Amino acid sequence: MATKNHNLSDYDINSVPNAEGMKIGIVVAEWNENITAALLDGARSTLIKHGVKPEDITIMTVPGSFELIYGASQMVKKELDGVIAIGCVIRGDTPHDRYICQGVTYGLSRLNAVQDIPVIYGLITTLDMQQAEDRAGGKMGNKGDECAVTAIKMIDFKRKLK
């Protein structure tokens, strides 16, 4: 959804299933907290807007994005219908950021493939802080909103398959 000029908060409201009764876990990284807090706000408010009860949203924090893998892998074992992993990795002076992004992307992909509930990829990977701000409620919208809508759609996908 990071297509050029695509606003992450733009979606067809009629395409989103009713999320009443859905239980959702959100695991949030503390690194770049100004960004991840804004992503969390977006995700939480969009879930609630579509019918998820505040008490059915479980929020857990982990130190950095790399820990999202462990965090999400523990949360998928709980009584939840889906898990959103939120983090922000900003390019630094060393290749460290690339290893973190690769690790998180692989770890979350693997969870998606082997676990029973959907894990939503809410990792922002940017070249600088401005790009991150643009995607955390700035001019590109809020990736947290997009994650919430994706979570609802994927949970509904699973429900329809049964």
Applying CB under 6 A, which residues contact ligand RBF? 29, 31-32, 63-67, 87-90, 92, 96-97, 100
Closest to ligand RBF by CB, 20 vs 128, is: 128
Closest to ligand RBF by CB, 29 vs 155, is: 29
Minimum distance of ligand RBF from residue 13's CB (angstroms): 31
Minimum distance of ligand RBF from residue 98's CB (angstroms): 11
Q: Which of 6, 77, 78, 96 is catalytic?
A: 96
* Dihedral angle, C-alpha 29, 23, 49, 86, nearest 10 °: 10
Known active-site residue 50: no
Q: What's the CA gap between 120 and 118, in Å, rounded?
A: 6
Closest to ligand RBF by CB, 35 vs 152, is: 35
86 and 40 in contact (C-beta within 8 Å)? yes
| Token pair 């408010």: residue | 45
Minimum distance of ligand RBF from residue 110's CB (angstroms): 17
Q: Which of 110, 111, 134, 136 is nearest to 122 (CA)?
A: 136
Minimum distance of ligand RBF from residue 128's CB (angstroms): 11
135 and 126 in contact (C-beta within 8 Å)? yes
Closest to ligand RBF by CB, 76 vs 86, is: 86
Q: What's the CA gap between 122 and 39, in Å, rounded?
A: 8
SS3 31: coil
> Catalytic amino acids?
96
